Amino acid sequence: HVLASPEQHRLHHSTDLSEAGHYGSDLSIWDHFFGSYTWRPGREPVAVGLGDPASFPPTGEIVSSFLHPLRRAKGPGTGSA
């Protein structure tokens, strides 16, 4: 399999860490390459989501990490006068 299937996406969100791989987003080739690919036809994860939601960063921190590369640099070497 080269393209990730909906089944692979569901397993990616499994709370069972032994089956929660599939990091290639749309292309499963990366999982083949890094050894995280699993294929269990017809098997659905017992539970999906976070085993411990408190261990996950707050939404604001996630959003700020995505926006970080877009922020204007401050300090020496920024090219501003």
- pLDDT tens for 21-55 read 777 667 888 888 888 777 777 777 678 777 777 77
The residue among 70 and 80 whose pLDDT is bigger is 70
46-67: average pLDDT: 75
Residue 13 forms part of a structural domain: yes
Token couple for 28: 């499963």
User: Domain residues for 47?
Assistant: 6-69
Q: For residue 38, how many other CB atoms are within 10 A of its CB?
A: 14
Residue 61 forms part of a structural domain: yes
Query: What is the distance of C-alpha 70 from the center of its chain?
Result: 21
Residue 59 forms part of a structural domain: yes
DSSP state of 15: S
Which residues are registered as beta bridge partners of 3?
27
Residue 27 forms part of a structural domain: yes
> The whole model's pTM is what?
0.49
Count of domains for the chain: 1
Residue 33 forms part of a structural domain: yes
Residue 44 forms part of a structural domain: yes
> In angstroms, what CA-CA distances link 6 with 27, 32, 49, 76?
12, 17, 15, 47
Assess whether pLDDT exceeds 80 at residue 58. Answer: no
Residue 34 forms part of a structural domain: yes
pLDDT at residue 9, as a whole number? 76
